[in-house]
Amino acid sequence: MSVKDSSHLHKPVKDLGTVALFYAGDIAVIVMDAGENRMNTVFTDKLSELLDEVEGNTSCKGLITTAEGKFYSNGLDLERLQQYSTEQHKEFFKKLGALLMRLLLFPVPTLAAINGHAFAGGALLAIAHDLRTQRYDKGWLCFNEVFINRQFLNFHYPLMRTKIGSGINYTDAVTLGQKYTGSKSLEKGLIHAAPSASLLLPESLQLLKSFSGKSGYPRESLRLMKADVYGDVIEQYKLDLENIDEMVNKFMRASKL
């Protein structure tokens, strides 16, 4: 059963081919459907376009992102990035950073329904949401940069500390690249629920609605609260933007592109 069929998401409000926007009542559901859902400039542009649609819908009370198939997202599209010029790298990292920060500060509650593997950048995308669910039986959540000779950008570190903690979880997940099944993620407090594949989206909708309720959150109040809570992430992100050349050089040195 596809993730769309599990909650009767039959007709998208907007379909961009590899990613589409549906609604389940007053909850927006963005479904990625590009195989491994690798991140490149096209990916960031399309996802940002759908976020524009969601934010423009004043009756929307929550947002879920999920995907079809075996992957939530397998991280950066390294094959495509190898073809980018230095300026294109700058553009991509600006857009990816803006996407992560937009999700982090989105004015309605957000939930990543992790249907399969979420590696590296895909794991960062997942933790940028307020809530997370993960299929309990298949798929890994993993910050595997240490195994593939990659480094995080500076603002990723306070983001990860905020979302997964600064103790044992941080050492295991970030420094040592531990892989987490849904059941292990739940045990370690990285996610909020670990349903079966067929119940991933239905239970995610139920969980998100348990927070938003009938009236939802006042958007500006929620945005301001998130800005206060994630202030250290915002400040480091601004510093990274001021040093975008170093951000790109750091990536290229580690990646040997």
Instruction: pLDDT band for 9, please (50, 70, 90 cuts).
Output: confident
Three-class secondary structure assignment of the chain? CCHHHHCCCCCCCEECCCEEEEEECCEEEEEECCCCCCECHHHHHHHHHHHHHHHHCCCCCEEEEEECCCEEECCECHHHHCCCCHHHHHHHHHHHHHHHHHHHCCCCCEEEEECCEEECHHHHHHHCCCEEEECCCCCCEECCHHHCCCCCCCCHHHHHHHHHCCCHHHHHHHHCCCEECHHHHHHCCCCCECCCHHHHHHHHHHHHHHHHCCCCCCHHHHHHHHHHHCHHHHHHHHHHHHCHHHHHHHHHHHHCC
Compute the average pLDDT of residues 238-257.
78
For residue 7, the model assigns a pLDDT of: 60
For residue 253, the model assigns a pLDDT of: 67
Q: Is 7 or 177 the better-scoring residue by pLDDT?
A: 177
pLDDT in tens, 38-96: 999 999 999 999 999 999 999 999 999 999 999 999 999 999 998 999 899 999 999 99
For residue 222, the model assigns a pLDDT of: 98
Of 208-217, 218-227, 241-250, which range is least confident?
A: 241-250
Compute the average pLDDT of residues 9-13.
89
For residue 250, the model assigns a pLDDT of: 73
Say if residues 24 and 9 touch (Cβ distance below 8 Å).
Answer: yes
pLDDT in tens, 119-156: 999 999 999 999 999 999 999 999 999 998 888 999 99
Compute the average pLDDT of residues 18-40.
97
Compute the average pLDDT of residues 98-107.
98
For residue 256, the model assigns a pLDDT of: 58
Write the CATH number for 178.
3.90.226.10
For residue 82, the model assigns a pLDDT of: 87
Domain range enclosing 184: 3-255
For residue 150, the model assigns a pLDDT of: 85
Question: How far is residue 12's CA from residue 209's CA, in Å, rounded to a whole number?
Answer: 20
Residue 212, pLDDT > 90, answer no
Instruction: pLDDT band for 205, please (50, 70, 90 cuts).
Output: very high
For residue 214, the model assigns a pLDDT of: 84
**What's the number of domains the chain is made of?**
1
